Chains A and B, each alone.
Chain A
Amino acid sequence: MTATGVRLRRAGEQFAVAKPLVAIDSASKVYGTNRGLAPLSLAINAGERVALVGPSGSGKTTLLRLLAGALVPDQGPRSVIINGKSPGELKPGRELASLVGIVSQRFDLVPHLPVLHNVLAGRLGHWSLARSVLSLVWPMERRAAQQALARVGIADKINERPGRLSGGEQQRVAIARMMMQSPLVILADEPVASLDPARAEEVMELLVGLVSLDMGHGNGDDGSSQRTLIASLHTASLIRRHFTRVIGLRESRVQFDLPAGELDDAVLDELYDLGDDNGDVEPLAGLAARDG
């Protein structure tokens, strides 16, 4: 299985010419009089790790929610296509859960459920209602949840309440939940925004690890363990180290679309409009740059 995973990953890197996995065809979203997203087109291939950068209000969250199927574009659901399906058209359930999953900045764990059940919640899309009810009393797939927690390094917290965990640990629980959900496309809305640089680095490593990780469930579709990551974040050093591609959004338009390695601070400064007079534009970048 591991060998297959590696082979698929190599294949994915040379995938650029094939049909894109994620296709956004001039999708836009207007909330009342506010423009959430101007018409935007984007193609993302399987196996890419895409970072979305841009100032607050540039449309990153709207874009991610369109991809997650939580919002439907004004042009209709078919203007966002993932692996031939439109997330906005799918009802909550197995199909949508194996297509896309999202991790948010606030982790969004259920405060009164133990970590175990929060992790197992990733399986809710796959389980029947009866199985979900039963699992609250007698946890199903406990071993898989244990493995997921071990992989994110907090196996000992399985019976804790989320409220007793630190921010970094809570985000690990959210990542373990994502492992259980095992979607083809992993979306992350500022997953490290509330974490200190060291924790941000660790969490980002785990998140990127999901892309090539065989999560044991498969996707049911093509058996591929190749996943795609699309995350919004602001830290140039994290982007250069963990991503393959970076897309700059500004006023909900694509300002640049570069290989992550070519992202330099000047490009980012211009995007955030910090100007030349300010030399110390990204204080966190230096802190986060630990052993690469």
Chain B
Amino acid sequence: MERTGMEQSHPAGAARARFNVLRWSAYAAALLVALSWAFILLDGNSGFGDLFRERTWQNAGQFVASLAGAGSGAPSPFVQAARWRETGQLALNTLAMSVLAMGIAGAGALVLLMPGARNVSDGTLGGAPSHTGRVVYAAVRIFYTLTRAVPELVWAMLIVFFLSPGIIPGALALGIHNLGIVGRLTSEVVENLDPAPARALRAAGASSPKVLLYGVFPQALPLFLTFLMYRWEVVIRTTVVVGFLNAGGLGREFRLRMSWFHYDDVGLLLVWYLLLVIAVDVLSAQLRRRVRWD
């Protein structure tokens, strides 16, 4: 009897409490929104008012028009085959940079896949637990964290210090950063594998490298390739940002043309960039579908 009474009173009390919290949260949110707008609109230096000025929109329209090649007097680069070829070459360079970056990230992650997985280092997946294994595991994980924590932009800034500008420093910067990401994800795939097939291989007399080769690699590979393809989509976008730092490709040219006020060239570069991003997205989706069999 007593328990029933408690159960009845308790939910009612909880409902009242939650109702109050909700209502006060709504009041607070409304107040914050109002204050924020007041702050923006009352402060003349925020630049927010510019958004509503006719002049801003005229400028924007002019800029878009010049991106499209209008108003510069000279013939638009969009109608010159030579300009398409030149910028196309830059797009190819950018593509090469992204592929090279994924090659660096992929090769690195593939090599570190096993030592970076806890269940390989502690012997759960076959093989004896060893001190060396644990030390190497810790080292690989710290390496992953470091490479991942430093953004590709910072890697690029560091690398162009000692490498001549071009697609190589860009690819290195992107590759190192993505090695940390792909490597960690793949090692975690290995850590979540069912150990039973590996044990069965061991029972069939397979030594540790053979167990890893037959029992672990084939299972980890499809997901590894999937991660790599996903990262490729991100990397092709980031090539432009890295390119800003003299790392070559479309990004570098983009920055130069912007500073020379060659907006029509910038427009052409943007078109190539969009084509590249779309092509990589489509290709990546196709490849990802291919590796998914189970």
A residues neighboring B (CB under 8 Å): 68, 70, 91-94, 96-98, 101-102, 104, 106, 108-113, 117, 121-122, 124-127, 129, 132-133, 136, 161, 163, 174, 177, 181
Contacts and interface: CB of A to CB of B under 8 A. Distances in A.
A161 B214 contact: no
A74 to B, nearest CB: 19
Interface of B: 196-197, 199-210, 213-215, 218-219, 221-222, 293-294
Contacts of B201: 110, 121, 124
13 contacts: A70-B203, A93-B207, A101-B204, A101-B205, A110-B214, A117-B214, A117-B218, A121-B214, A124-B206, A126-B205, A132-B214, A133-B213, A174-B200
A112 B206 contact: no
A124 B214 contact: yes
Contact of B218 (A110, A122, A126): A110
Contact of A112 (B196, B202, B222): B222
Contact of B294 (A109, A112, A132): A112
Contacts of B222: 112
Nearest to B126: A92
A121 B221 contact: no
B202 A92 contact: yes
Given A70-B202, A110-B197, A125-B204, 10 more contacts: A91-B207, A98-B205, A108-B199, A110-B201, A113-B214, A124-B204, A129-B210, A136-B213, A163-B294, A181-B204
B200 A113 contact: no
A92 B200 contact: no
Chain B contact residues: helix, strand, loop or mixed = helix
Contact of A108 (B200, B207, B214, B293): B200
A103 to B, nearest CB: 9
Contacts of A124: 201, 204-207, 210, 214
A129 to B, nearest CB: 6
A163 B197 CA distance: 13
Contacts of A96: 205
Contacts of A92: 202, 205-208
A121 B203 contact: no
Contacts of A161: 293-294
A184 B213 CA distance: 26
A101 B213 CA distance: 20
A113 B209 contact: no
A133 B213 CA distance: 7
B203 A102 contact: yes
B197 A181 contact: no
Contacts of B218: 110, 112-113, 117
A104 B200 contact: yes
B85 to A, nearest CB: 40
A177 B221 CA distance: 23
B207 A129 contact: yes
Contacts of A177: 204
Contacts of B210: 124, 127, 129, 132
A106 B199 CA distance: 12
B205 A93 contact: yes
Contacts of B196: 104, 106, 108
Nearest to A129: B209
A130 to B, nearest CB: 11
Q: Which of A92, A161, A163 has the most CB of B within 10 A?
A: A92
Nearest to A108: B200
A-B interface, 9 closest residue pairs, ranked by CB to CB distance from nearest: A125-B205, A97-B205, A108-B200, A124-B206, A112-B218, A110-B197, A108-B196, A124-B210, A112-B219
Q: Which of B202, B206, B215, B218 has the most CB of A within 10 A?
A: B206
B225 to A, nearest CB: 12
Contacts of A181: 204-205
A220 to B, nearest CB: 12
B69 to A, nearest CB: 52
Contact of A94 (B200, B205, B219): B205
A124 B202 CA distance: 9
B206 A121 contact: yes
A267 to B, nearest CB: 31
A31 B156 CA distance: 54
Contacts of A127: 210
A109 B204 contact: no
B212 to A, nearest CB: 11
A102 B219 CA distance: 22
A68 B203 CA distance: 7
A131 B288 CA distance: 30
A93 B208 CA distance: 10
Q: Which of B200, B207, B209 has the most CB of A within 10 A?
A: B200
